[in-house]
Amino acid sequence: MTTRVALVTGGTGGIGTAICKRLADAGHKVATNYRSEEKAKAWQAQMKADGYDFALVKGDVTSPEEAETMVREVEKTLGPIDILVNNAGITRDGTFHKMSSSQWGDVINTNLNSVFNVTRPVIEGMRERKWGRIIQISSINGLKGQYGQANYAAAKAGMHGFTISLARENAKLGITVNTVSPGYVATDMVMAVPEEVRAKIAADIPTGRLGKPEEIAYAVSFLVDEQAAWITGSNLDINGGHHMGW
């Protein structure tokens, strides 16, 4: 197994943490970004207690300048980035006829524009080295839509449009680009929802339960593997059968 450098945006969240751990377990050197130093340091301390030593780099992915500075800092600290997981995301829910421009803009900037901002300073190095793995963490709601999430669904759907275009441009250079679209996963945010609401969600899922962050991380580790070189431009739905595509 070749040790590579991986950058996971939004790595301090539930799914992000699981991805960081899985990639580290596979032997890779892993970095993630943060905006709140206090939260990040607490997360880093917990990770060290769990036996993981992740690089933390300050960077707001909604800013092209900060994103590039973040990438260069990771490269300076760990080496060239060969694996990029665009995982950063937020929600600002509300029905569209009441949605403010800031609710729309914040979600588009964090969930979609960030994908450009972080990938752009990474892609040239991957092309030069003729190897790379880029994965977007999208969502079931980018596929089926969701009431009160026009902003979120638009951003998440846009992520896969980015994936398939970038996959075509770089396929001959040893770079694969794929999307993972999780369904409802038992992160802290979801588990904070009232139990009766979670029960209704689970009842609509054919497997009868929420997903685990580790199950999403497994899919990421599969796609970044050396042997996954012929998988590009794909979207992997991981939702317990909640939404079945074709």
Q: Which residues are catalytic?
A: 152
Looking at 28-180, list the stretches that DSSP marks H as alpha helix, in order from N- to C-terminal side.
Answer: 37-49, 64-77, 101-107, 114-129, 141-144, 150-170
For residues 40 and 49, give the distance between their C-alpha atoms in angstroms, rounded to a whole number: 14
For residues 61 and 13, give the distance between their C-alpha atoms in angstroms, rounded to a whole number: 15
What is the H or E stretch that residue 179 is in?
Answer: strand 175-182
Helix, strand and coil content of the chain, in percent to the nearest 5, comes to 50, 15, 30
Letter for the amino acid at 177?
A: V
Nearby residues of 168 by Cβ (< 8 Å), 6 or more positions away: 233
